Amino acid sequence: MLYMIFGGSGSGKSAYAEDLAVKLCPEEKVYLATLTDIDEEMEQRIRDHRKMREGKNFRTVEQGLALETLDLSGERLVLLECMTNLLANELYDPRARHPEAPAAYIMEGIRHLKDQAENLIVIAQDAFSEVPMDPELRRYVKESGRVNQLLAKEADVVVEVKFGLPLVLKGSELLSEVERR
């Protein structure tokens, strides 16, 4: 099953996704970290997220590019944190393989993971509501919207989180079944 959890920065989407992951799979599960440690702010975000995961039986796998190269066969649950960082890596990292069509390429990687794991939860940042003036930022916003649309279309469950409150946009009956556990 594919779950998409999205929201703005600081919306509570990560906490919601982690809690959902624990409900779906109390035993060991994979936390697929895509954030690249490039400065002090990113280091702090990584520390904060590690602290949030303590005691939740996550095994961390760090990979910010080329999801199709990962072998996570037989995993009960994989939580990918987050699509936004993955997109930035695929757009701007010199090692990226398909920066000309990142949304389609990323979705190939998502399908690869989905085929391997019983459950895949993908956290995504909401595409920005304002279109920036800078051409490179406009490209990023456009690709972010494109990959989020593709992900939502294929997801079994789509949840938007605002202010820590989930709003189920797709698959409410599937999520209700999980909540009853």
Write out pLDDT tens, residues 96-130.
877 678 889 999 999 999 999 999 999 998 866 55
Q: Which residues of 32-61 are buried (b: 16+ CB within 10 A; e: fewer)?
A: bbbbbeeeeeeeeebeebeeebeebebeee
Pick out the chain residues at pLDDT < 70: 37, 99, 127-132, 180-181
pTM: 0.89
Report the pLDDT value the prediction gives residue 130, as an integer from 0 to 100: 59
Closest alpha carbon to 129 in 9, 14, 35, 17:
9
Report the pLDDT value the prediction gives residue 117, as an integer from 0 to 100: 97
In degrees to the nearest 10, what's the CA dihedral of 172, 86, 125, 181? 30
Spatial distance between the Cα atoms of 171 and 2, rounded to a whole number of angstroms: 10
Report the pLDDT value the prediction gives residue 97, as an integer from 0 to 100: 77
The residues, any chain, with a CB within 8 Å of residue 119's CB and separated by 6 or more, are: 1, 3, 21, 24, 25, 76, 77, 78
SS3 category, 125: strand
> Residue 104 corresponds to which amino acid?
A
Report the pLDDT value the prediction gives residue 178, as an integer from 0 to 100: 80
Q: Show me where the domains of the chain are located.
A: 2-179
Report the pLDDT value the prediction gives residue 101, as an integer from 0 to 100: 85
Fold of 2-179: Rossmann fold (3.40.50)
